[in-house]
Structure 1
Amino acid sequence: MSKGVLLVNLGSPDSTDPKDVKKYLGEFLMDPRVIDVPLWARTLLVKGIILNTRPKKSAAAYKKIWWDEGSPLIVLSERLQKKVAERTSVPVGLAMRYGSLSIKKGLQELHDKGVSEVLIIPLYPQFAMATTETILVLAEELRKEHFPNMKFTDIPAFYNKEEYIQVLSNSIAEKIKDLDYEHLLFSYHGVPERHIRKSDVSNGNCKMDGKCCFKKGSVQHEFCYRHQCEITTVQVAKKLGLKNGTYSTSFQSRLGFDPWLQPYTDRTIERMGKEGIKKMAIVTPAFVSDCLETLEEIAMEGEEIFHEVGGKEFTTIPCLNDRDDWSDILGNWVNNWVEAKTPVLK
């Protein structure tokens, strides 16, 4: 079998034109693993309300962060793809779950190169229904319909892998080493609480009180997004030698009125400013590539909130993007799979 790799990230509109943004949002928000309500309700919400109000606002936000080369997420992902390809002997493709750079196109390009066994790498450190799961489900649907002779292997959530924790810690340390910051906030993308319950394979043991996140050996941890975020924070804090009280975890980007994972990032930033914190840094470990949520929601809106309540210095830490050490890790994972030295990430 000829092997190949497909890196998969979230996606982006083709441009900042409201029409392109509307098309992208429509595909994204109609995914039943993103807005997991009955089709009629999702259609009413997305096509009847959101797509008639949000595209112009989102387009304006994209314009703030758009690069000359295009979408930062796409450009950074392409740079990462190139570096990973330089570190391995097999074809390395790139796809997005949403948008024109589709998973189908990525698989077709690998197929056309003679690839019959694909290592799918969802570029998400933590597992979630709306990220890793939707990628793998769609890939399998496409395999059955269009690529029946292909074989898929995927890399599981790598939130607690030593090499990932090390490179994430390195990226943070490089940014804060000369900062006199008072608090480091780990902000993860939020999900509705019901997503945690739906991913709970322990038949309801998760009480959504945060306590089970830190219990060792809990079977639900393999698919519990909240646990994986909390443990990412704990392991990085340990690696960096952070003192209790100088760091915390929060969740951003909530949508609608249902309860989402808390505490919320925007309210946490506001609270800290009101409590007298003057200098804070913020890192977004749910993303490996900078995008709208990191460059606009955090670096712009978050800073504005902080300054409005009296904060002075607000430092955002870049995602791993195309760092050489991050590219080395992905290259090593690919090579281990190609050479079958060890099971993937085991």
Structure 2
Amino acid sequence: MKGILLNNLGSPDSTDTKDVKKYLGEFLMDERVIDIPFWKRWILIKGIILKIRPKKSGAAYKKIWWKEGSPLVVISERFTKKVAKKVDIPVELAMRYGSMSMEKGIKNLVDKGVTEIMLVPLYPHYAMSSYETVVVLAEEIIAEKYPQVKLDTLPPFYNKPDYIKAMSNNIANHLKGFDYDHVLFSYHGIPERHIKKSDPTNSHCKIDGSCCERNSVAHHTCYRHQCFETTKAIAKELGLDETNHSNSFQSRLLKDPWLKPYTDFELEKFPTIGKKKLAVITPAFVADCLETLEEIAMEGKEEFLEAGGTEYKHIPCMNDNDDWVDVMVSWINDWKNK
């Protein structure tokens, strides 16, 4: 029997500092998130970051926490339930980090008699710190505990036409009645070195403004290229021209160079060049979470208005809207019927 494992990032169990610390410890100690030698990572995370950041992150989570729990988890659960109602094979939800572990999700499917799983990383784009770490962990769990189970994985869907259409419809619906000067596509940032590490050719990715435009096998695992392609496809669908939209990258960590331009710098710049009515989209996420609800919808708005902006609109992710549910159902059915 076939089954589906939907997977997203994860969340602390609560906003309490101890729960946030536990979650951040698991997340930041992942070698594909902070890719430095273990001993350096241990000193940095255990000795420095986890002594400071959990309290600050807990305060941020409190600003966006829902009565039902973490928005990311609640939305993902709603999405999973809607999808499960429309397909005739088992569907489970798991998180890469936190108590809703992938091991539990896989076990739940196996306990239902599933012998073939399609893993669905709910990340549109390939990155070693998101898509890749999910796939690697799933493969390790299957090999160690369920060697009889076959594992397939849904490829990154950043440019799938039905996904682009659903995303564009969601954006268009939220832009109705908003007289914007500019639309900013804000993607989650990653260190520049991750781009080069993910390049199978070891030579194509130079992050120089041109490599993303030259055809290469490297694009299959290039987060930067895939982000730009998503923007191009959505801009074409919405009829945006080159003068009224752009890309940026948010959520930097440490002092290493990350993908540019940085979202916070762009938010401060726009009012100074006459772009005072801004809409912000976060296409790296399919469900609203801390990075969209607090960093963009709250902090981003404050930064933009303080810099002289007059109107600011955060476009919600697709979350559990019916178009997105139907797209996922169609992908599942295509796989099931192979």
Residues 4 and 91 of structure 1 are in contact (CA less than 8 Å); yes or no, is this contact kept in structure 2? yes
Measured against aligned partners, the alpha-carbon deviations of 1:39-91 in whole angstroms (never above 9, x if no partner) come to 01100110011000000000000000000000000000000000111111000
Following superposition of structure 1 onto structure 2, how do residues 191-340 of structure 1 map, counting pairs within 5 Å?
Answer: 191-215=190-214, 217-340=215-338
CA distance in 2, matches of 1:187, 1:27: 26
Q: Which residue of 2 aligns with 1:47?
A: 46
Secondary structure in structure 2 of the residue aligned to 1:304: helix
Measured against aligned partners, the alpha-carbon deviations of 1:118-175 in whole angstroms (never above 9, x if no partner) come to 0000000000000110001001111111111111000001101100110111111111
Measured against aligned partners, the alpha-carbon deviations of 1:235-293 in whole angstroms (never above 9, x if no partner) come to 11011110111000000001000000000001110111232321000000000000000
Give the count of matched residue pairs.
338
User: Is 1:92 aligned to residue 91 of structure 2?
Assistant: yes
Secondary structure in structure 2 of the residue aligned to 1:306: helix
Residues 11 and 99 of structure 1 are in contact (CA less than 8 Å); yes or no, is this contact kept in structure 2? yes
Deviation at 1:307, TM superposition (A): 0.9
TM-score (norm 2): 0.99
Q: Which residue of 2 aligns with 1:343?
A: none
Deviation at 1:210, TM superposition (A): 2.3
CA distance in 1, matches of 2:246, 2:72: 26
CA distance in 2, matches of 1:272, 1:146: 52
TM-score (norm 1): 0.97
User: Is 1:79 aligned to residue 78 of structure 2?
Assistant: yes
Residues 16 and 63 of structure 1 are in contact (CA less than 8 Å); yes or no, is this contact kept in structure 2? yes
Alignment RMSD, CA only? 0.7
CA distance in 1, matches of 2:141, 2:209: 37
What is the percent sequence identity of the aligned residues? Answer: 61
User: Is 1:25 aligned to residue 24 of structure 2?
Assistant: yes
Q: Which residue of 1 aligns with 2:169?
A: 170
Residues 204 and 216 of structure 2 are in contact (CA less than 8 Å); yes or no, is this contact kept in structure 1? no
CA distance in 2, matches of 1:165, 1:136: 23
Residues 276 and 310 of structure 1 are in contact (CA less than 8 Å); yes or no, is this contact kept in structure 2? no
CA distance in 1, matches of 2:216, 2:86: 36
CA distance in 1, matches of 2:10, 2:103: 13
Runs of 4+ residues deviating >3 angstroms: none
Letter in 2 for 1:43: W
CA distance in 1, matches of 2:217, 2:312: 38
Letter in 1 for 2:309: G
Residues 273 and 306 of structure 1 are in contact (CA less than 8 Å); yes or no, is this contact kept in structure 2? yes
CA distance in 1, matches of 2:45, 2:283: 28
Structure 2: gaps (5+ residues): none
Secondary structure in structure 2 of the residue aligned to 1:281: strand
